[in-house]
Structure 1
Amino acid sequence: MQLINKQRISLSVYFFLAGFNFSSWASRIPTIKNALDLNEAELGSVLLTMPVSSLIGLPLSGWLVSKLETRIPLSVAFLINSVCLLFIALANSVFALVVTLFLFSLSMRIFNIAVNTQAITLQKQYDRKINGSFHGLWSTGGIVGVAFTTLLVSLNVGMLPHLLTVSIITVLTGLASYRFLLRNDRSTSGNKLAFGKPDPYILYLGLLVFFAAVCEGGMFDWSGIYFQQVVNEEVFTAGYLTFMSFMAFSRFVSDRIVDRIGMATTYMLSALLIFSGITISIIFPSFWPAMIGFSLVGFGTASVIPMTYTLAGASQKYSPGIAISIIATFGIVGMLIGPPMIGFLAHAFNLKVSFVAFALAGIMLIPISKLFFRLQQSYA
C-alpha cells in the first residue's frame, strides 16, 4: 500500500475516534445533569467551560503547529482527551466537572487544529476533494458513540463503565495509528499573526464557522435535553443519533455535492436546511416531526466546516495551520455563545422557544457566504 494511502487511513482513524470520544461525552449530558441536580441555567454555565477553555487553547495550538510537526501535538492532545473521559465519569461535584471539562476541551482544541492541518496538507496531494470524507468519519464516530450510549442507557449501564471502556478503546487505537501520521509538515512561512485591520478573506470564513458552530455545538449539547423535556422521549439519545447520522451521511457525499453545484450554492442549501429543520422541530414537537427536523439540521450543518476549512487552506496571507487556528477562534466564540445562550433562554422562557436562535444562526450563512464569494471574485 502506498504511503499516501496509509497516511489517509491513519488520519481517518483519528477523525473517527475524535467523534466517538466527543459524542460519548455529549450523549451523557442528560445523565450528568440529573446526577448533579443541575437546572438549565446551571448546565449552561457548566457548558460554558468548554468554549472558554478552547479559546484559551487557541494561541497554544497555533504556536504548537507552527513550531512542531503536527503529529506531535495531535497525538499527545488526543491521548489526554481520551483519558479525560474517565475523569468526567468520576466527577462528583460541579467543580470537579468544570476542571475536567476544561482539560477535555483544551486537548480537543489542540487536537482539532493539528488534525485539520494534516488533513489540508494531505488534501493538496490529491487531485480530488477528500476533506469532507474526514469530517464524515468524525460524524460516523459520533454516530457509533451515540449508538453505543443508547445501547448502554437502555441496558441501564452506568456512566463510569461506559466512559472507561471508551477511554481504553480510543487510547489503544490512537497509539496504533500514530506511526503513519504525516511527518516533516511544519510550515516555514505564514506562521505569524498580523495584528491590525482584519483580513476580509479570513473574517468572512470565520463568520461562517461562527454561525455553523452556534448550530452544531448547540445541537450537540441540547438535542438530548430537547428530546427528553420537549419531545418527552425516554430514550433521549434518539434525536442526537438522528442528527449525527444525517450529518455523517451528508459529509461523505458533500465533496460530490460541492463538485456538482459549487460551494456558494451549497452554503445557501445548508442555511435553508438548518432553518427548515429547526422550524419543523419547534412547530411540531412530537417524535417523528422532531426526528425529521433534526435530520435536516444534520444534513445542513454537515458541509459548512469542511468547506470553510478547505477555503482557509487557500489563504494567501497565512499558513494552513494558522489560518485554521484563526477561523477556529470564531467557531469557539460561537460555541461560547450558543449552548450557554440556549440554557439561559430556556430557563427564562422554555427550551422549545430557545431553539429559535439556531434557526436564525443557520439562515445567516446566506448573506455571509454571498459576501465571501463576492470578495473572492474580486481577488481573481
Structure 2
Amino acid sequence: MIASNQKQRIALSAYFLLSGICFSSWASRIPTIKANFNFSAEDLGNLLMILPASAIIGIPLSGWLVAKFDSRIPLQISSFAFLLSLFLIGFADSLFVLIIALVLFSISMRIINIAINTQSISVQEKFKKRIVGSFHGIWSIGGILGVLFSTIMIKYQISIFWHLLSVSIFGLIIILSMFPLLIKNDKAKTGNSFKLEKPSKYIALLGFMVFFAAICEGGMYDWNGVYLKEIVKQEVFTYGYLLFMVCMTISRLTIDRLMEKFSMQTLYFAGSILIMFGVSIAIIFPTLWTVLIGFSMVGFGVSGLYPMTFILAAKAKKYSLPIVISIISTYSTVGMFLGPPIIGYLAHVFGLQKAFIVFIIGGFMFIPLSKMVFDHLKMWEKTSTNQVN
C-alpha cells in the first residue's frame, strides 16, 4: 500500500502536471490567436497587458484565501476557474469574451501558484531528501505534453476550440480525482495576517529574483513561437517551445541533486550566463538550428530559478510560509505577464530580434540579486551566532 505522504506527493504532482499542460496549451496557441484576430505585435502586446493588470487586482483575493483556508481549498477553486478560462479562450469569438477569459486566467493562475507552492513546501517537510525541484520538473513535463498535443492539433489543423475544450475536460477529471489526496491542515497558526505593505528587504530580493525569472520564462513561452514563425519562417512554430520545455524539464528533474553538489549561488550564476548566452545566439544567428540551440540554453538556465527561490522563501521571517509565497508570487505573476507585452511593444518599435534583448537584461539581474540574497543570509547567520555566544 502506498504511504500517505507518497499519495500526497503523487496528488500534488498531478496538479503541477496539469498546470504545465494548461499553461503551455495557452502559450503555444498565442500565434493562432494573433492570426485569428489579425493582431499586430502592438495589438498582441496590449492584449497580453491584461494579464499583469488582472494579477495585481487578484492580490487581495489571493492573500485572503491563503490566510483563511488550508492551501488545498484555494488550489481546487482556482483550478476550476483556470480550466474554465482555458475553455473560454478557445471559445472566444469576440475580443470581449477573450478579455474576460484572460482576466479569469490570470487571477486563477496567481492563486494556483501560491497554493501549489505552499503545498510543495508542506509535502517537502515529510521527506528527508529534497523534492521541491521535482515538482517544478513535473510542471515542465506537463508543459512538454501540452506543447506536444498542441503541435498535433496545429499539424492536423484542429481548431483552437476543440483543442482547449479537450484539455479542459481532461483537467476536470484530474482535479476531481486528486483533490481528496492533497495534504490537509497546512494552514499556519501564526503570521497569517495579510497586509498590503512594504515587504522586508529579504522578501523583496526574492521577489525581484522571481520577477526576472518570470520575465525570461513567460516571455519565452509567449514569443518563441512567434519568433520562429516570423523571424525564422517556420510553419510548425512549436518546435522551439517544445525543445525549450524539454531542456527545462531535464534540468528541473536534476536540480535537487545539483543543489546537493553545488551552492545555490553558483547555480544562480550559471543560470544567468546560460540565459544571456542563449538569447544572444538566437538574436545574432536567426536560423532554425542556432535559434533552437539558443532556446535550449535558456531552458537550462531558467529552470532552477523558481525551485531554488521558493526554497529560500522558507527562511523568511515575520510572515507564515503561505503569506511569504503569496508576496513573492505577486512579483512572479506580474513578471510572467508583464514580460510578453513589453516584448510586444519593443517589437513594434525596434523589431522582434532587438526586443529579445530584454531577456539578456533579465538574465543578467540574477548575478547582483543572488549576491545580495546570500549576503543577507550570511548576516542573519552571523547575528544568530553572536546571540548564542
Amino acid at match of 2:234: E
Distance 2:60 2:123 in 1: 24
Alignment of 1:87-102 (within 5 A): 87-102=88-103
Alignment of 1:169-248 (within 5 A): 169-193=170-194, 198-248=199-249
Shift of 1:197: 5.5
Distance 2:224 2:196 in 1: 38
Residue pair 1:70, 1:114 contacting (<8 A) in 2 also: yes
Amino acid at match of 2:244: F
Unmatched tracts of structure 2, length 5 or more? 382-389
The CA RMSD measured in Å over matched residues stands at: 1.1
Shift of 1:193: 4.1
Residue matched to 1:74: 75
- 3-state secondary structure, aligned to 1:115: helix
Alignment of 1:97-108 (within 5 A): 97-108=98-109
Residue pair 2:75, 2:112 contacting (<8 A) in 1 also: yes
Distance 2:49 2:347 in 1: 15
Corresponding position: 1:377 with 2:378: yes
Alignment of 1:1-380 (within 5 A): 1-193=2-194, 198-380=199-381
CA deviations on 1:36-69 (whole Å, 9 max, x unpaired) are: 0000011011111112112221221121111111
Give the percent of matched residue pairs that are identical in Structure 1 and Structure 2: 48
Residue pair 1:61, 1:325 contacting (<8 A) in 2 also: yes
Distance 1:8 1:97 in 2: 35
Distance 2:211 2:71 in 1: 24
Residue pair 1:62, 1:113 contacting (<8 A) in 2 also: no
Shift of 1:158: 1.1
- 3-state secondary structure, aligned to 1:225: helix
Distance 2:199 2:50 in 1: 27
- 3-state secondary structure, aligned to 2:273: helix
Q: Is the alpha carbon distance of 1:372 and 1:173 closer, same or farther for their aligned partners in structure 2, counting shifts above 3 Å? A: same
Distance 1:143 1:337 in 2: 23
Shift of 1:18: 0.6
Shift of 1:76: 1.4
Q: Is the alpha carbon distance of 1:347 and 1:254 closer, same or farther for their aligned partners in structure 2, counting shifts above 3 Å? A: same
Shift of 1:83: 2.0
Shift of 1:332: 2.5
Distance 2:43 2:95 in 1: 10
Distance 2:88 2:13 in 1: 26
Residue pair 2:232, 2:287 contacting (<8 A) in 1 also: yes
Distance 2:196 2:341 in 1: 30
Shift of 1:337: 3.1
Shift of 1:229: 0.5
Task: Tell me whether 278-287 or 123-132 shows the greater mean CA deviation.
Answer: 123-132
Amino acid at match of 1:329: T
Residue pair 1:57, 1:109 contacting (<8 A) in 2 also: yes
Residue pair 2:275, 2:298 contacting (<8 A) in 1 also: yes
Residue pair 2:229, 2:237 contacting (<8 A) in 1 also: yes
- 3-state secondary structure, aligned to 1:84: helix
Distance 1:371 1:111 in 2: 29
Distance 2:198 2:369 in 1: 19
Distance 2:159 2:269 in 1: 42
Shift of 1:273: 0.5
Distance 1:112 1:194 in 2: 19
Amino acid at match of 2:127: Y
- 3-state secondary structure, aligned to 1:139: helix
How many correspondences in the alignment? 380
TM-score, normalised with respect to structure 2:
0.96
Distance 1:50 1:303 in 2: 24
Distance 1:195 1:109 in 2: 16
Residue pair 1:81, 1:104 contacting (<8 A) in 2 also: yes
Distance 2:166 2:243 in 1: 23
Distance 1:330 1:70 in 2: 20
Residue pair 1:61, 1:114 contacting (<8 A) in 2 also: no
